[in-house]
Amino acid sequence: MTPALIITLAAEQKSADVTHWAARAGWVVGLLLFVALLYWLMREGWKWRGTLQGDLPELPTAPAEQGEPTLTMSGRYHGSTTSGQWLDRIVAQGLGTRSKAELTLTEQGVDVVRPGARDFFIPAAALRGARLETGIAGKVLPEGLLVITWQHGDKTIDSGFRSDRAAGHAAWVEAISTMNSTTEGAR
């Protein structure tokens, strides 16, 4: 090759545009709009589920005199479901909000205090049992959950709790089962 030909070829070569800013900005805006749409659809689905469960009565509140605590537990509330259907989350009356929780078991029932969320009380007469599970409402914990089954209106509910010290779950299952058998005998 002659030097003139090499210079001509080198002068004619043009590097490709590295960035098309308009196209990139369009993709970013499109992606952000898509994510916003997904978030809005999830929010609407959550509100719709709450509307479908609107027949759930108000949650009971703790009585003024509860008596001496049998057991206490601090940990997390992971959600409530229709009993026996661990993916059918209940969101009405604030039961769908995961939060920290302080549980107190007395002869009156189970008091659930949730900072930043709605507190509720499970009367002793409404308790149906307790058991250890690995998951509830889409939350799976291999270390296990304490699931308390209780009756609220015409709906049987499973509520899942995870203690800061999971070794205490067995004591809760035993205490609630004992309380439940005593309460059933009085009915």
> In order of start, what are the domains of the chain with their CATH numbers?
71-186 (2.30.29.30)
- Note the pLDDT of residue 75: 93
pTM assigned to the model: 0.75
Q: Which two tokens stand for residue 154?
A: 């015409």
Angle at 154 between CA 184 and CA 62, to 5 degrees: 70
pLDDT at 67: 83
| Mean pLDDT to the nearest integer, 171-187 | 75
Is residue 131 left, alpha or beta, with left meaning phi > 0 and alpha meaning psi from -120 to 50?
A: beta
- Give residue 104's pLDDT: 94
The model's pLDDT over 79-114, given as tens digits with 9 standing for 90+, comes to: 999 998 878 889 888 888 899 999 999 999 999 999
**Contact, 116 vs 100, CB < 8 A?**
yes
DSSP 8-state class, residue 100 = E
Q: pLDDT, tens digit, for every residue of 127-164?
A: 999 999 888 877 788 878 999 999 998 999 999 999 98
Enter the tokens of residue 131. Answer: 């058991």
- Percent above pLDDT 90 for the chain: 44
Q: Mean pLDDT over residues 34-56, rounded?
A: 89
What does the DSSP 8-state code read for residue 53? T
Residue 48 CA, chain-centre distance (Å), reads: 17
